């Protein structure tokens, strides 16, 4: 059975109930160091539980680390984006680890960003180094993925689209809320990955809801095999595996898209974002974003993330 680990005030605990757990007796300051100290984790699993300390949960994945994400990797999201799942390749982008924040921290929209979007994702936490050229198979993938986490790939769409790159639009501070739990996988747990159900609510309204087996295009084995061709990964790195449909951003109808392609870029994007201004699904100041990822039987439960959106106010110059 998986081991649920949380982080409070820079200390790690094995979570045993909503209010109780066992302190992990470790000097580990980073996720990578914690994964390496498996003996301390095992001792905590067997140890007596006590009340957990009060205070805010911290992200169970620590920076600095690599944050690599898959792009358009759920069929429903691919269709929402106006693309054909049969022709979408395996693609990746990077985010800064500076964007990682805790599972109850505010999501802060910079004052110059207009359209803030959400994306529930499952994060793979690397447990064993993957140098370039590593051969990975279904039999040994569980040796390289130590844990799973729930993440939100927050996106500034008005920066992402006109610039045709993701790095800036997805890398502002608080744009990668992670946790609450680091779900350390035990033998047999990896086989349940495809049973995971990803759900996201905004102010109690369901926006995203999908099961990995039904919707994910490129599964983790294919993703890590693809990364191993060019991108080394180290223990503690985070790989995001894509999001289902239901984000605020959706492709315009085909006739509108065809007409837009004929316009100069500046005119096209001005018209597009004028239309997006009428879209009430983008995150507003004070919105509560809740995320939950788990198998139906709860055997793997990555926990429920609750974050509030705060709009940064522009300062007069």
pTM of the model: 0.94
Residue 221 within a domain = yes
- What is the model's pLDDT at position 216? 98
| Cα separation, 117 vs 275, whole angstroms | 16
Position 223 in a domain = yes
**According to the model, what pLDDT value does residue 115 have?**
95
In a domain, 39, yes or no: no
Domain of residue 84, CATH code: 3.90.850.10
Q: What is the pLDDT of residue 276?
A: 86
Domain presence at residue 41: no
Nearest-CA neighbor of 148 among 111, 190, 106? 190
Check residue 297 and give its pLDDT: 95
Which pLDDT does position 227 carry in this prediction? 97
pLDDT at position 315 is: 59
19-44, pLDDT tens digit by residue? 999 999 999 999 999 999 999 999 99
| 53 within some domain | no
The reply to whether 29 falls in a domain is no
Residue 289 lies in a domain: yes
pLDDT at 167 (0 to 100)? 96
Report pLDDT for 262.
46
Domain range for residue 77?
A: 58-311
Domain total in the chain: 1
What residues of the chain score a pLDDT lower than 70?
252-269, 314-317
Identify whether 43 is part of a domain. Answer: no
């Amino acid at each position: 059975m998986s081991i649920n680990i949380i982080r409070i005030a820079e200390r790690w605990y094995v979570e045993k109930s909503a209010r109780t757990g066992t302190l992990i007796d470790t000097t580990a300051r980073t996720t990578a160091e914690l994964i390496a100290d498996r003996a301390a984790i095992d001792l905590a699993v067997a140890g007596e539980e006590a009340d957990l300390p009060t205070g805010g949960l911290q992200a169970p994945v620590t920076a600095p680390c690599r944050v690599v994400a898959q792009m358009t990797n759920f069929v429903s999201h691919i269709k929402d984006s106006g693309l054909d799942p049969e022709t979408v390749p395996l693609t990746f982008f990077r985010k800064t680890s500076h964007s990682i924040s805790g599972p109850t921290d505010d999501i802060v929209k910079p004052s110059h960003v207009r359209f803030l979007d959400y994306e529930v994702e499952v994060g793979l936490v690397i447990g064993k180094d993957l140098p370039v050229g590593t051969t990975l198979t279904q039999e040994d993938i569980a040796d390289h993925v130590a844990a799973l986490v729930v993440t939100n790939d927050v996106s500034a769409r008005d920066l992402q689209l006109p610039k045709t790159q993701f790095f800036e639009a997805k890398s502002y501070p608080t744009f990668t809320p992670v946790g609450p739990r680091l779900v350390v996988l035990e033998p047999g747990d990896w086989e349940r990955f495809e049973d995971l159900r990803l759900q996201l609510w905004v102010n109690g309204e369901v926006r995203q809801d999908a099961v990995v087996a039904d919707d994910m295009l490129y599964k983790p084995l294919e993703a890590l095999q693809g990364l191993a061709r060019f991108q080394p990964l180290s223990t503690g790195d985070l790989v995001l595996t894509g999001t289902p449909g239901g984000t605020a951003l959706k492709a315009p109808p085909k006739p509108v898209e065809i007409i837009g392609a004929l316009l100069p870029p500046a005119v096209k994007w001005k018209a597009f974002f004028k239309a997006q201004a009428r879209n009430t699904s983008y995150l507003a100041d004070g919105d509560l974003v809740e995320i939950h990822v788990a198998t139906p039987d709860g055997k793997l439960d990555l926990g429920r993330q609750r974050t509030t959106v705060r709009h940064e106010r522009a300062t007069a110059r």
